[in-house]
Amino acid sequence: MMKQWATAASAAALALAIAAPDAAAQKSKDTLRIAWEQTVENVDNYYNTNREGILFSRMVWDTLVDRDPKTFKTIPNLATAWKWVDDRTLEMELRQGVKFHNGEEFDADDVVFTLNYISNPENKVINQSNVSWIEKAEKLDKFKVRIITKKPFPAALEFLTIPIVMYPNEYYAKVGPKEMGLKPVGTGPYKATKIVPTKEYTLERWEGHFEGGSKPHAKIKNIVIRTIPEMSTQIAELLAGGLDWIWYVPVDQADRLETVPSLQVVRAETMRVGYIGMDAAGRTPVKALQDVRVRQAIAHAIDRPAIVKNLIGGKSRVLDAPCFPTQFGCDNSVAAKYPYNPAKAKELLAAAGYKDGFEMEFFAYRPRDWSEAILGYLNAVGIKPKLTQMTYFAVRDKNHANATPTYFMDWGSYSINDVSAILPNFFAGSGDDYARDPEVKAWLEAGGSTVDEAVRKENYSKAIKKITEQAYWLPMFTFVTNYGMTKDLNFEAFADELPRYYLYGWK
């Protein structure tokens, strides 16, 4: 109800605002004013779980290696060189002459301290899967370290690019997570000048930021981030000139914002992948879904290009393989293709003995019009789905409790550019696995337990081939994030859905 009012009201707001005078951005004050919908509970990188926490973290701290946001190649940052000594041992050379915001020098002690601290379960880092692969870190000399993994862990470098940032050992040992959340100290291009937890975060360019790493010297001097939970309020602030940048703007609002002369809208594809899950394993009482022909019929019944064109928009793409195209191991060439073909869907259903269709429940938490579009296509071939639209956590609970015969869900892979951040979650026997295919599980384990790229690729391709041929999942489309901002800002969006504020400047 609130959402509908909000939509109506913001539509009216936009209509009026177009006639209202333009507000000047804070270009003159060299301050970028941002709103986030989500509150970052504690800006200490290891004690929050939202994406906004990562955005903050990237401004204030640095990772050992980084990702080129366009090519997704691993590039040096605090580490200048690295090599796998064996399956479980990664050796890294560290950059010299780097200083933390408090003047402390960055060296091997900081790396060893950070990695050993976060991988110790007693310290209760929230995202355990980001750190639980680390056995320990050792200092070889002042600027050389060795990281030992618990078992062969090929995605280690990926985890060292985004989620794991380096802390100053002396400072952190003294203050701990709570104080770090209030007075963060890092090596990043911005230093935090004022943190009011969950309300407001003020950052200022750090003039002592090191040269030669993955991040250039920041262009904009000040950044002020406020938490505004209501999208309508954010849009109103943007229109009134109280904000310069917002994101996650709904498609319909983005269309209207585009018509405001002082604003620009950027629509960018993200790594988030939407899919329809089907109970092939017989975890629910819906027998029909255990027949591969029924699952293939569902795949053929849905016009994914039409959904993408009409409901998602932007640069969203239809997917064949159950992963994001740039991810390591995401081999699209072996994926079975399911073009829209309702006649074939009906044939397959008839062959499986469901000429008159069957009844099943369908669970979803994303916008209702997406679910209804999917349901419409299924109805057209005779399947009678019953929609249950719930919140994310509710659907996930049902999913784990063997109660979701079919469901539309999505996965962002933590922005990790490797299929090991998506496939094992869904096809290696976890609560999310509705395929329970031992062969697929074995291939995924083989692909995830070596650093040999050829072996990894081979195993992942086999898995992708079988997952799609068996239609365990119907990969749907990539998600799109809409950004709204002042025209004065030079902005670029990246597929990993991580805006890099230090790269942006004024026009």
Partner 1 sequence: MLAYSLKRLLLAALVVLTVSGITFIMTNAAIDPAKAIAGANATIEDIEALRRSFGFDRPLVIQYLDWLGNALTGNFGESYRLRTPVAELLLDRLPVTMTLGGCALLFALSLSIPLGVVAALKPNSPVDRLALSLSVLGQALPTFWFALMMIILFGIVLRWLPISGSGSWAHFVMPSIALGYYATPAFMRLTRAGMIEVLASDYIRTARAKGLRPATVLFKHALRNAVIPVVSLAAVQFGFMLGGSVVIETIFALHGVGFLAWESISRSDIPVVQAIVLLISLFYIFLTLLADLLNAYLDPRIRVG
Q: Answer left, alpha or beta for residue 319, where phi above 0 means left and psi between -120 and 50 means alpha.
A: beta
Q: How far is the CB of 47 from partner 1 (least distance, A)?
A: 7
Structure tokens at 129: 């899967």
In 251-337, alpha helices (H): 251-257, 292-301, 304-307
Query: Is 177 among the residues that bind partner 1 (CB under 8 A)?
Result: yes
Give me the half-sphere count of Cα atoms (radius 13 Å) on the Cβ side of residue 326. 21
DSSP tag of 211: S
- With CB under 8 A as the contact rule, the residue among 151, 174, 400, 507 that binds partner 1 is 400
Query: Is 17 among the residues that bind partner 1 (CB under 8 A)?
Result: yes
Q: How far is the CB of 497 from partner 1 (least distance, A)?
A: 13
Query: Is 240 among the residues that bind partner 1 (CB under 8 A)?
Result: yes
Nearer to partner 1, 131 or 137 (CB): 131
- With H, G, I as helix, E, B as strand and everything else as coil, classify residue 268: strand
Cβ-in-10-Å burial (0-12, 13-18, 19+) of 401 comes to exposed
Token pair 């900081």 is found at: 110
**What distance in Å separates the CA atoms of residue 442 and residue 437, rounded to the nearest whole number?**
9
In 23-168, alpha helices (H): 51-60, 108-119, 128-131, 156-159
**What distance in Å separates the CA atoms of residue 483 and residue 195, rounded to the nearest whole number?**
24
Residue 253 has a CB neighbour count (10 Å cut-off) of 23
- The string over 274-306, giving b where at least 16 C-beta atoms fall within 10 Å of a residue's C-beta and e elsewhere, is bbbbbbbeebbebebbbbbbbbbbbbbbbbbee
Token pair 């230090």 is found at: 502
User: Which residues sit opposite 245 in a β-bridge?
Assistant: 34, 485
Window of 15-23, 109-117, 140-148, 470-478 that interacts with partner 1 by CB under 8 A: 15-23
- With CB under 8 A as the contact rule, the residue among 392, 439, 452, 507 that binds partner 1 is 392
Window of 66-74, 310-318, 334-342, 396-404 that interacts with partner 1 by CB under 8 A: 396-404
- With CB under 8 A as the contact rule, the residue among 52, 158, 237, 418 that binds partner 1 is 237
Interacting residues with partner 1 between 75 and 104 (CB under 8 A): none
Nearer to partner 1, 226 or 317 (CB): 226
- With CB under 8 A as the contact rule, the residue among 50, 264, 290, 389 that binds partner 1 is 50
- With H, G, I as helix, E, B as strand and everything else as coil, classify residue 399: helix
User: Could you tell me if 490 and 265 are in contact, meaning their C-beta atoms sit under 8 angstroms apart?
Assistant: no
DSSP H or E stretch at residue 424: helix 423-427
Token pair 């029909």 is found at: 288
Nearer to partner 1, 125 or 265 (CB): 125
Window of 379-387, 425-433, 455-463, 479-487 that interacts with partner 1 by CB under 8 A: 425-433
Nearer to partner 1, 222 or 425 (CB): 425
Rg, Å, the chain Cα set: 24
**What distance in Å separates the CA atoms of residue 400 and residue 352, rounded to the nearest whole number?**
28
Q: How far is the CB of 311 from partner 1 (least distance, A)?
A: 22
**What distance in Å separates the CA atoms of residue 429 and residue 82, rounded to the nearest whole number?**
33
Question: Could you tell me how many residues of this chain bind partner 1 (CB under 8 A)?
Answer: 56
- With CB under 8 A as the contact rule, the residue among 208, 216, 305, 431 that binds partner 1 is 431
Q: How far is the CB of 462 from partner 1 (least distance, A)?
A: 23
- With CB under 8 A as the contact rule, the residue among 142, 151, 194, 199 that binds partner 1 is 199
Q: How far is the CB of 54 from partner 1 (least distance, A)?
A: 12
Q: How far is the CB of 365 from partner 1 (least distance, A)?
A: 11
User: Could you tell me if 50 and 57 are in contact, meaning their C-beta atoms sit under 8 angstroms apart?
Assistant: no
Query: Is 397 among the residues that bind partner 1 (CB under 8 A)?
Result: yes
- With CB under 8 A as the contact rule, the residue among 198, 259, 326, 490 that binds partner 1 is 198
Nearer to partner 1, 223 or 236 (CB): 236
Nearer to partner 1, 37 or 109 (CB): 37
Q: How far is the CB of 262 from partner 1 (least distance, A)?
A: 12
- With CB under 8 A as the contact rule, the residue among 25, 26, 34, 42 that binds partner 1 is 42
Q: How far is the CB of 397 from partner 1 (least distance, A)?
A: 7
Window of 5-13, 162-170, 366-374, 446-454 that interacts with partner 1 by CB under 8 A: 5-13
C-alpha to C-alpha distances, 421 to 147, 322, 358, nearest whole angstrom: 20, 12, 34
DSSP tag of 445: H
Window of 82-90, 101-109, 233-241, 335-343 that interacts with partner 1 by CB under 8 A: 233-241
- With CB under 8 A as the contact rule, the residue among 411, 460, 483, 502 that binds partner 1 is 411
Q: How far is the CB of 271 from partner 1 (least distance, A)?
A: 12
Interacting residues with partner 1 between 116 and 175 (CB under 8 A): 121, 124, 126-129, 132
- With CB under 8 A as the contact rule, the residue among 202, 222, 227, 450 that binds partner 1 is 227
User: Which has the closest alpha carbon to 283: 439, 87, 436?
Assistant: 436
Q: Are strands 245-247 and 263-278 parallel, antiparallel or unpaired?
A: unpaired
**What distance in Å separates the CA atoms of residue 420 and residue 447, rounded to the nearest whole number?**
8
Question: Which residues contact partner 1 by CB under 8 A?
Answer: 1-2, 5-6, 8-10, 12-13, 16-17, 19-20, 23, 39, 41-42, 47, 49-50, 121, 124, 126-129, 132, 177-178, 181, 197-199, 226-230, 232-233, 236-237, 239-240, 242, 392-393, 396-397, 400, 411-412, 414, 425, 430-431
